[in-house]
Structure 1
Amino acid sequence: MILEIPSPEPITIKVIMLMQSTLPNGNPKTRVKNPNNCIRMRPLEMRLGLIPLIALVVVAMGEEDTDVSKNVLVLVENIWIKETHSMFLKLLTDRGYTTTVRVADEAGLTLTKYGDYIYKHVIILAPSVSEFGGSINVNELVKFLDDGGNIFVAASSEIGDPIRELGGECGIEFDEEHTAVIDHHHYDIKDDSSHTYLVVPHDNQLKVPVITGESEKKLPFLYRGVGIAADPFNPLLIGILHADRTSYSYNLNKPVTDYPNTVGTNTQLIVALQARNNARAVFTGSLDFLSNEFFTATVEEALSGKKYPGTGNQELMANLLRWLFGESGQLRVVSVEHHRVGEAIAPNQYTIMDNVYYAIKIETKNEKNQWVPYDADDVQLEFVRIDPFIRRTMKHKDGLYSEVLKLPDVYGVFKFVVDYHRLGYTHLTSVVQVPVRPFTHTQYERFIEAAYPYYVSAISMVVGLILFSFVFLYHKDDKEKTV
């Protein structure tokens, strides 16, 4: 049987057509043609005509929904920084970041557009700037950090007030203007007799691979700049690179009459901050540390004569930028499950003394920026009601951490807490709240061993009462015989 499907009826669309005519004076005059004139279009023709319009809408939506996680604002001292520090900037572009290089005091600078941040990362290579341009200032940068942005700051001996104030907001203190880190024992032969062209041993670097990477060559670093003082008891600060024990920080143009601000290994050269919201900041006192000159230089210590084919500056910066921008040291919780042993679904509430299975899956980023299972031997689980009642180190396999625990003989509102803080990694916190109730009257044991003496006492009383009653009721004394 053949079915004949009629063709769809044409759709009639009324279009007001604008016709132009020319007035006698030469000016065009627009008149509206009779709106009753109609253009008849079939559905296929109508759909084809909408394709350009749909494409235009999609393009417009794509422009509005731009991913800013790869956008980097670079504020420079002057435009020549783009040439003298081109290798440092290339570290960013090689990893797929979009860099916007602007002079730090340029008018019109802003971090936001229509109330949203247009940059995820800010790099400041302007040590002596006296005031930032546009809407950018220290308070705006601190707010940017509080909102989850990442900041890199490079200073020098010619440090300005904004950079010093920004460091103070993050818990570090740059030494005074015109000061420099001096070491009379470890300096390069290219030094100008001021002993500020320092050769810093590779061992002075923080040994945390997730932040500074792992180097096989162990090359020293070249440093020339201001010293940094950091509070050693601040848990948010991380010392990345410190000076040698023979160094100190002081003004080059003054004789040493006072105790220096920082001395020996307390003189920090690079300091990092990981805030409680997992935003990150890095401060260095040397703009030259990032320069092409220091990246490509060969090293020869003036006193010992030791020679090295290169410096570790570029390698350290590459690893440090990966960590700063969140490409390494990231942790996330994929899934959490808990239930009674032998069951598969989490109950609405637990009972005291239950045996409970808890598992959490954790992932981290690898060198290819991919999420992979995170394996460590120090992830702990706490069962908390105000204070922890149970704390256990969990077993793990392929990023899945698990533990079986017996709930305490205490009822209330408890929490399964995994609060993981490790140097270089983001703070990982997982909290699951569960109620724990006491036994119902049908769940208690009928006989308790500790109560056996009471059971015997009660039974003996009953038996004694029965015997006494029997004797009292049925015992009769013999009557006395009469004479």
Structure 2
Amino acid sequence: MLRKLLWILLISFPLFAILCASFSEENPTDRRVLVLLDDFAIKSSHSLYFKSLESRGFDLDFKLADDPKLALQRYGQYLYDAAILFCPTVERFGGSIDVASFLDFVDSGHDLIIAADASGSELIREIAVECGVDFDEDPAAFVIDHTSYAVSETEGDHTLIASDDFIQSEVVLGSKKIEAPVLFKGIGHSINPANNLVLKVLSASPAAYSANPNSKLSTPPSLTGSAISLVSVVQARNNARVLISGSLSMFSNWFFRSGVQKAGSTTKYEKCGNEQFLTELSKWVFHERGHLKAVNVRHHKVGEVDEPSIYRIKDDLDYSVEVYEWSGTSWEPYVADDLQVQFYMMSPYVLKTLSTDQKGRYYTSFKVPDVYGVFQFKVEYQRLGYTSLSLSKQIPVRPFRHNEYERFIPAAYPYYGASFSMMAGFFIFTMVYLYTK
């Protein structure tokens, strides 16, 4: 019996350690990452990218995409905090994993990186479609650009794109500017402009188009110009993040080490921007940057410190909240000037921009409106590249009690005067009427 208990403990301890190290609000950086490969050769050919993740503390678990023992969950708990799909040709995942498994994985708040290419399977395309991205339907299509190709690497190959059309966001790509263009060779995709959850991080030039480079164009290309996205990101409503690239090669060691000279430019870079671009982008995807949390939400009457259970109309109150950003290792004060609070009942009766002390604390004061009912303090904060904040706190507001009204209301003095003047006039009229003939 004792030996059996020891075996159970030995088997369950690794699982317990995995679960304890998983994603949490206090330590939001993903740590255990599943990497699915078409072939283990990719582990060597893309080793620089994997080493950059491991150097930042990520535990990468490499598996073949068709491994029959593949699993994302055990005993109802996810074994991984994030997943990287470097398996563009896989037709069917191994084990019990399918498209729905990865969609549930993202719906549960976990992050995902998808790299496709021109030989991408329907399986990978289906996952991308569910994330809001549509790859070119032609399986032999490449992004072609006759003006922004890399002339220093493969002479005459206009499918080797040198793109520097980056998203203008420091929180997504870091504060250090990416000087060199990024090399890209693969398939393009489009996003729905009405979908505000998907962002183009790297776009093609206006002269680019998507087509089969080995055949003549008989019909207009389905994707053209800057509408072609080379790399996109998705931030779901639950703050899970997804990176979608149309090129697996751009993550490779060969691209990381390659120099680049863009067509029409005399500047030749000894090293392209792929390593910096993808490293900074992975920091955002894995919540090392742009992850916010709000704590210590407080409200009380002016001059008091305790939070009341109910407010009275026309009370003066103070509201405050502390907001911090995860830096990858610790929580740092988040400083902005666009955080707002609503005092809400069916619609916002009060909308105030919060002031900040530059140390993470946001605060404001306002007067409770002259309307009673059940109100909410609401903070709905959405900013490009940052996780969204949605805070709400309910509080009832009552009218004045009968003994709390002012004895004489200044605004009613004309009515008081009218009443007394009428009584005085009636008295004078009566006296005149009675005592005069």
TM-score, length of structure 1 as denominator length: 0.83
1:111 equivalent to 2:77? Answer: no
Match of 1:290 among 244, 247, 251: 251
1:166 aligns to what SS in structure 2?
helix
Cα distance in structure 2, aligned partners of 1:80 and 1:114: 32
Match of 1:165 among 117, 122, 126: 126
Counterpart for residue 16 of structure 1: none
Counterpart for residue 230 of structure 2: 269
Counterpart for residue 372 of structure 2: 411
When the two chains are superposed, the root-mean-square deviation of aligned CA atoms in Å is: 2.2
The one-character-per-residue Cα deviations of 1:237-269 (angstroms, maximum 9, x if unpaired) are: 111100112111111232112221221111100
1:310 equivalent to 2:271? Answer: yes
1:463 equivalent to 2:424? Answer: yes
Counterpart for residue 187 of structure 1: 149
- Higher mean Cα deviation, 313-322 or 66-75? 66-75
Counterparts of residues 386-405 of structure 1 (less than 5 Å):
386-397=346-357, 398-405=359-366
Cα distance in structure 2, aligned partners of 1:476 and 1:89: 113
Counterpart for residue 197 of structure 1: 160
Q: 1:214 to 1:460 in 2, by over 3 A?
A: closer
Counterparts of residues 92-111 of structure 1 (less than 5 Å):
92-111=53-72
Match of 2:16 among 58, 64, 79: 64
Per the TM alignment, residue 442 of structure 1 is displaced from its structure 2 partner at its CA by: 1.8
1:384 equivalent to 2:347? Answer: no
1:252 aligns to what SS in structure 2?
coil
Per the TM alignment, residue 448 of structure 1 is displaced from its structure 2 partner at its CA by: 2.8
Cα distance in structure 1, aligned partners of 2:199 and 2:436: 99
TM-score, length of structure 2 as denominator length: 0.91
Cα distance in structure 1, aligned partners of 2:260 and 2:317: 60
Match of 1:350 among 311, 324, 328: 311
Cα distance in structure 2, aligned partners of 1:227 and 1:450: 69
2:162 aligns to what SS in structure 1?
strand
* Unmatched runs of 5 consecutive residues or more in structure 1: 1-52, 478-483
1:277 aligns to what SS in structure 2?
coil
Q: 1:106 to 1:435 in 2, by over 3 A?
A: same
Q: Which amino acid aligns with 2:85?
A: I
1:374 equivalent to 2:334? Answer: yes
Cα distance in structure 2, aligned partners of 1:377 and 1:279: 25
Per the TM alignment, residue 60 of structure 1 is displaced from its structure 2 partner at its CA by: 6.2
Cα distance in structure 1, aligned partners of 2:159 and 2:87: 20
Counterparts of residues 11-22 of structure 1 (less than 5 Å):
none
2:204 and 2:226 in contact (8 A); partners too:
yes
Counterpart for residue 434 of structure 1: 395
Structure scoring higher RCO (CA < 8 A, sep ≥ 6) equals 2
Cα distance in structure 2, aligned partners of 1:100 and 1:144: 16
Counterpart for residue 140 of structure 2: 178
1:249 equivalent to 2:210? Answer: yes
The one-character-per-residue Cα deviations of 1:388-418 (angstroms, maximum 9, x if unpaired) are: 1111111101111111111111111111111
Per the TM alignment, residue 81 of structure 1 is displaced from its structure 2 partner at its CA by: 0.3
* Unmatched runs of 5 consecutive residues or more in structure 2: 24-30
1:158 aligns to what SS in structure 2?
coil
- Higher mean Cα deviation, 458-467 or 318-327? 458-467
The one-character-per-residue Cα deviations of 1:200-254 (angstroms, maximum 9, x if unpaired) are: 12xx111211111133461111110000111122110111100112111111232
Counterpart for residue 3 of structure 1: none
Match of 1:131 among 82, 85, 92: 92
Per the TM alignment, residue 466 of structure 1 is displaced from its structure 2 partner at its CA by: 4.3
2:325 and 2:331 in contact (8 A); partners too:
yes
Cα distance in structure 1, aligned partners of 2:216 and 2:12: 64
Counterpart for residue 7 of structure 1: none
Match of 1:88 among 31, 45, 49: 49
Match of 2:240 among 276, 279, 291: 279
Per the TM alignment, residue 306 of structure 1 is displaced from its structure 2 partner at its CA by: 3.1
- Higher mean Cα deviation, 293-302 or 266-275? 293-302
Cα distance in structure 1, aligned partners of 2:150 and 2:90: 29
1:401 aligns to what SS in structure 2?
strand
Cα distance in structure 1, aligned partners of 2:220 and 2:301: 64
- Higher mean Cα deviation, 58-67 or 271-280? 58-67
- Higher mean Cα deviation, 249-258 or 412-421? 249-258
1:135 aligns to what SS in structure 2?
coil
Per the TM alignment, residue 193 of structure 1 is displaced from its structure 2 partner at its CA by: 3.2
1:328 and 1:369 in contact (8 A); partners too:
no
Q: 1:470 to 1:310 in 2, by over 3 A?
A: same
1:316 aligns to what SS in structure 2?
helix
Cα distance in structure 1, aligned partners of 2:247 and 2:360: 40
Q: 1:323 to 1:304 in 2, by over 3 A?
A: closer
Stretches (4+) displaced over 6 A? 56-60
1:343 aligns to what SS in structure 2?
coil
Per the TM alignment, residue 472 of structure 1 is displaced from its structure 2 partner at its CA by: 7.1
Q: Which amino acid aligns with 2:76?
A: G
Per the TM alignment, residue 462 of structure 1 is displaced from its structure 2 partner at its CA by: 3.0
Which structure would you say has the larger Rg?
A: 1
Number of residue pairs the alignment of both structures matches:
420
2:143 and 2:185 in contact (8 A); partners too:
yes
Q: 1:423 to 1:467 in 2, by over 3 A?
A: same
1:147 equivalent to 2:108? Answer: yes
